[in-house]
């Protein structure tokens, strides 16, 4: 048995991280970002990312099967190639990139974005006519290429691709089901692509894979719990929960980045 599994604190945090990730894969895309920061409380972020990736792959298969008929083809054709470029950049620069700077940047994006979206939602609620409400943004190749590349890069480093992805996708105003289906296929594709550079960089070591295999039975529990919750929530409440989760995780990432960079 790997030494990590004899540590009660690690096991407790890892179980929570896997369940939360499964719930995210089942319909709450923003909260998967919590997994690596949670596990980084007791192990290095690099090892945490290596342990979580093999667990995410089966979750992705389950989620894609559930939402297999509900996804936006045009957005995926823009985002997946861009994210592949971001993953490639991450793999080529992994040995020189400071993870705390990445945490800080992702956190700032998440916080600023959620504050902007909340402001837009309040303005929409006060609108007296449809013309006063914020306009939905259609898919855009240039924006999609930029944010998709950012999502691939940050996803490679710390499974933290959600904030850049959300910046691009949420303003489009897709329905809850279409938004979720597009999200699970996008991140499922990213995780499959990441297996190659993760393997080349030694993050899929025998120790990490042993821990992943032990935690794997929790994966379907989290996914189906996420699907169950997703289908019972009102659409406005669903997106409010996602925005709140992104904001909280963003604050956590900003705090971790500043704390570690300043060495306090």
Condensed to tens digits (0 to 9), the pLDDT of residues 227-252 reads 888 778 776 787 787 778 778 877 88
Condensed to tens digits (0 to 9), the pLDDT of residues 145-187 reads 999 999 999 889 878 788 889 889 988 988 888 998 999 899 9
- The listed range with the strongest mean pLDDT (29-38, 53-62, 125-134, 254-263) is 53-62
Q: Which residues contact 84 (CB under 8 A, 6 or more apart)?
A: 152, 193
In this structure, what token pair is assigned to residue 25?
Answer: 């894969």
pLDDT at residue 33 is higher than 70: no
How big is the CA angle at 29 (ends 28 and 33), to the nearest 5 degrees?
115
Q: Which residues contact 88 (CB under 8 A, 6 or more apart)?
A: 152, 197
How many Cβ atoms from other residues are within 10 Å of residue 233's Cβ?
15
Inter-CA distances, 108 with 10, 37, 82, 116, Å:
28, 15, 21, 12
204-224: average pLDDT: 91
Closest to 188 in 3D by CA, of 13, 14, 29, 39: 29
The domain tally of the chain equals 1
Structural domain for 130, as ranges: 3-262
């Amino acid at each position: 048995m790997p030494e990590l599994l004899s540590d009660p604190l690690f096991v407790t945090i890892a179980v929570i991280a896997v369940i939360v990730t499964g719930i995210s894969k089942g319909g709450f895309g923003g909260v998967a970002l919590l997994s690596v920061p949670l596990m980084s409380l007791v192990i290095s972020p690099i090892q945490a990312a290596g342990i979580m990736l093999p667990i995410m792959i089966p979750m992705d298969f389950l989620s894609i099967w559930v939402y297999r008929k509900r996804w936006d083809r045009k957005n995926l054709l823009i985002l997946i190639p861009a994210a592949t470029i971001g993953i490639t950049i991450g793999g080529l620069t992994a040995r020189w990139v400071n993870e705390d700077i990445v945490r800080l940047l992702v956190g700032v994006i998440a916080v600023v974005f959620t504050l902007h979206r909340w402001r837009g939602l309040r303005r929409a609620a006060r609108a007296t006519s449809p013309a006063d409400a914020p306009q939905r943004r259609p898919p855009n190749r240039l924006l999609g290429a930029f944010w998709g590349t950012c999502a691939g890069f940050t996803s490679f480093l710390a499974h933290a691709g959600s904030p850049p992805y959300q910046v691009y996708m949420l303003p489009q105003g897709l329905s809850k089901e279409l938004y979720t289906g597009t999200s699970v296929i996008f991140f499922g594709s990213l995780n499959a692509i990441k297996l190659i550079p993760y393997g080349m960089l030694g993050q899929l070591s025998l120790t990490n894979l042993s821990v992943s295999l032990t935690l794997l039975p929790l994966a379907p529990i989290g996914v189906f719990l996420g699907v169950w919750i997703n289908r019972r929530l009102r659409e406005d409440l669903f997106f409010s929960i996602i925005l709140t989760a992104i904001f909280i995780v963003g604050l956590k990432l900003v705090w971790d980045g500043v704390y570690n960079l300043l060495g306090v």
